[in-house]
Structure 1
């Protein structure tokens, strides 16, 4: 029953908003992993980010796409918790100072073992609209014991204006999603995170909406 509700939610609410209200431009969609275990690493400016990424997959595969999200944000309210866990299918993570990283990511490892595709935002939280914040090392801790897992970078632009942090009203801006080639694992955590950041910024340069902003700025 829950899976049916999830499919209906994405079919009749999320996908129409994403592909019609936003005017979404998707580039190199064929580079998305077709099956798991795999991880999408993306920038994070809006609550729309997760829904947009999940909408890129067929309805029959939605239940295999698992966003990693903050437990202290999504599990505080009973209704929000039920909706987040059952309809969105989040993997809740307890943020804060945690010494046992294996325990922190245990649910993520179970999802990967189950062949799921994880959505991970390495910035840790939503940043300023259309700006990439400093990335945290969580992704490196997660996959250092399974370096063969495919990690695919995705850059989104425009969603931070369409539904900014702290806002509840959707503004229909054109938005871009650019999917990159998978990223090889690097044992050195600092270098690995720097490499992911460089790849995301490289994808940012390909965003049509970003190019328009740059051109507009150059006119002044």
Structure 2
């Protein structure tokens, strides 16, 4: 399976995303060269995850784990096999918090303890193309539970047009990605969320994009 994942990203994803779409990356030096770490990005397209993974050397594939909803990606046998073995998702139960005493972020914390790099989308799900939805507080709770782990804000623009939600046809729009300085968790959830949103607004302005309200 490791070989299949390597071939998929080397011969399919990298040529399509980094050449056909023409990714313009700012702040590459701010990407982590080792784990544990969390990449916290905006989310408009299934291409978001693939593009973020493709930014790293192929040797790092085993330690890069996109956090994904179990109820969506494990809903049928083929999708479950592809998502877990080729994309390498870390499936989480979105209903886990409803169980008494359960920690819905336990799988994420365990992965970080192993030194993995997580990809997480604080909006929760894909929104309308190039439109930012509100951030959910899960990222702040994860950061508070793992205060020594850097949370790296990433703003992406263009992938929502290249492959918007509900579309299966790839359109060659250029993609801009800006990587910000790392944040670290703190006890005050609201304060962390305010700092994260401010970082994302700054990254959007660096790409000369309108800042949302």
Bigger mean CA offset, 156-165 vs 179-188: 179-188
Alignment RMSD (CA, Å): 1.5
**In the alignment, which residue of structure 1 is the partner of 2:196?**
196
Shift of 1:69: 0.6
**In the alignment, which residue of structure 2 is the partner of 1:168?**
168
**In the alignment, which residue of structure 2 is the partner of 1:182?**
182
**In the alignment, which residue of structure 1 is the partner of 2:91?**
92
Shift of 1:103: 2.8
Shift of 1:176: 0.4
Q: 1:101-120 residue pairs with structure 2 within 5 A?
A: 103-120=103-120
Q: 1:67-86 residue pairs with structure 2 within 5 A?
A: 67-86=66-85
C-alpha separation in 2, matches of 1:101 and 1:32: 35
Shift of 1:55: 0.2
Asked whether the 8 Å contact 1:101–1:141 carries over to 2, the reply is no
Asked whether the 8 Å contact 2:64–2:116 carries over to 1, the reply is yes
Query: CA deviation digits over 1:87-138, x for unaligned, max 9?
Result: 1110112224724685312211221111100001000001111122111111
Bigger mean CA offset, 95-104 vs 173-182: 95-104
Query: CA deviation digits over 1:162-197, x for unaligned, max 9?
Result: 000000000000110110100132321112112211
Gaps of 5+ in 2: none
Residue 97 to residue 3, structure 1, CA distance change in 2 (3 Å) = closer
Q: Provide the secondary structure at the position in 2 that maps to 1:104.
A: coil
**In the alignment, which residue of structure 1 is the partner of 2:151?**
151
1:30 aligns with 2:29: yes
Q: Provide the secondary structure at the position in 2 that maps to 1:66.
A: strand
Q: How many residues get paired?
A: 209
What is the TM-score of this pair, normalised by structure 2? 0.93
C-alpha separation in 2, matches of 1:122 and 1:102: 20
Asked whether the 8 Å contact 1:122–1:135 carries over to 2, the reply is yes
